[in-house]
């Protein structure tokens, strides 16, 4: 529906008119309020007549920086609200990149914006934060035991670093991608054997001899062909699962599904199945990673790992 002039649009919005009942919400986080010009508890008059309100949002104890909630209101349809939310998410990221500061979007669904009907009361709301922890003696005993463990290779260390950092990401997508990425340093790719190597070399020679293919393209494709001499990351993980989980026939199936889901997110921006619960997938992959570290270090983990 074409927008009316901005003053009329704002009149409709401020009067809580049912014709402009949809809004969209974005949550974002920055290190310091000054990075966004100390915009706090303000209303922005956008060019299309809609209103954007920025106010502080709740921040958990372990999270650093400042978190904000931006609501853009004044849309006749949920679809238009969602489109405007994606536009604003892009605008926030572009602004942060242009001005050279960090910005993190926080959300629980597959995409940043959350559409809502602003004419419907949300009722009463309350929030609480809880956590469990180990006694100090347990922490000190664990640290002493871990210090006595010999240092392993850098790839394993990088994997643990990625896995440990994944729990501190602010949204399900980032946590999932980071956790699954922790598998890649573990996947040391082996050569596919002399027969495969000879076949690949012959294919490269045949390809090089074709004068119809431009030199730049030939070099690019040749490099990709040479990669066929080694396992793919996925093949390496499948082989290693037989070592890590010899009695668990479902381990590779679950890891492969998670790896495929990560590829969908990285290549398409969201999973093909929007009913996928990324937080459950992250919990699943975290259990496998903890079992891998337990195996690689021969180190019994105090918090149990369930198959």
What string of H, E and C letters represents the secondary structure of the chain?
CCCCCHHHHHHHHHCCCHHHCEEEEEEEEECCHHHHCCCCCEEEECCCCCEEEEEECCCCCCCCCEEEEEEEEEECCHHHHHHHHHHHHHHHHHHHHHHCCCEEEECCCCCCCEEEECCCCCCCCCCCCCCCCCCHHHHHHHHHHHHCCCCCCHHHHHHHHHHHHHCCCCCHHHHHHHHHHCCHHHCCCCECCHHHHHHHHHHHHHHHCCCCCCHHHHHHHHHHHHHHHECCHHHHHHHHHHHHCCCCCCHHHHHHHHHHHHHHHHHHCCCCCCCCCHHHHHHHHHHHHHHHHHHHHCCCCCCCCCC
Q: Can you tell me which residue has the tokens 């790719």?
A: 189
What is the distance between the alpha carbons of residues 274 and 231, in angstroms, rounded to a whole number?
31
What is the reported pLDDT for 288? Answer: 93
What is the reported pLDDT for 4? Answer: 78
What is the reported pLDDT for 61? Answer: 65
The pTM for the full model equals 0.68
What is the reported pLDDT for 252? Answer: 93
Q: Which tokens in the block code for residue 78? A: 């949920």
Rg (CA), the chain: 26
What is the reported pLDDT for 178? Answer: 92
List the chain residues with pLDDT less than 50.
none
What is the reported pLDDT for 139? Answer: 80
Q: Which CATH architecture fits 16-117?
A: 2-Layer Sandwich (3.30)
């Amino acid at each position: 529906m074409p927008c009316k002039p901005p003053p009329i649009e704002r009149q409709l919005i401020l009067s809580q008119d049912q014709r402009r009942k949809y809004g969209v919400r974005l949550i974002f986080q920055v290190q310091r309020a000054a990075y966004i010009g100390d915009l706090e508890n303000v209303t922005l008059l956008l060019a299309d007549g809609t209103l954007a309100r920025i106010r502080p949002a709740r921040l958990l104890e372990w999270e650093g920086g400042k978190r904000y909630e931006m609501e853009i209101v004044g849309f006749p349809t949920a679809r238009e609200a969602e489109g405007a939310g994606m536009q604003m998410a892009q605008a926030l990221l572009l602004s942060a990149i242009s001005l050279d500061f960090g910005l993190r979007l926080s959300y629980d669904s597959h995409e940043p914006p959350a559409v809502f009907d602003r004419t419907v009361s949300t009722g009463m709301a309350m929030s609480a934060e809880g956590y469990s922890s180990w006694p100090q003696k347990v922490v000190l005993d664990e640290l002493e035991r871990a210090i006595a463990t010999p240092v392993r290779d850098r790839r394993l260390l990088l994997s643990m670093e990625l896995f440990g950092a994944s729990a501190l990401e602010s949204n399900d997508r980032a946590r999932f991608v980071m956790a699954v990425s922790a598998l890649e340093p573990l996947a040391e790719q082996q050569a596919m054997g002399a027969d495969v190597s000879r076949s690949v070399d012959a294919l490269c020679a045949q390809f090089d001899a074709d004068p119809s293919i431009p030199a730049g393209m030939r070099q690019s494709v040749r490099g990709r062909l040479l990669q066929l001499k080694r396992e793919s990351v996925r093949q390496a993980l499948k082989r290693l699962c037989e070592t890590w989980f010899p009695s668990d026939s479902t381990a590779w199936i679950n890891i492969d599904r998670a790896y495929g889901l990560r590829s969908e997110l990285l290549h398409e921006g969201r999973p093909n199945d929007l009913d996928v619960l990324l937080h459950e997938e992250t919990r699943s992959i975290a259990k496998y990673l903890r079992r891998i570290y337990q195996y690689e270090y021969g180190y019994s983990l105090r918090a149990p790992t369930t198959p």
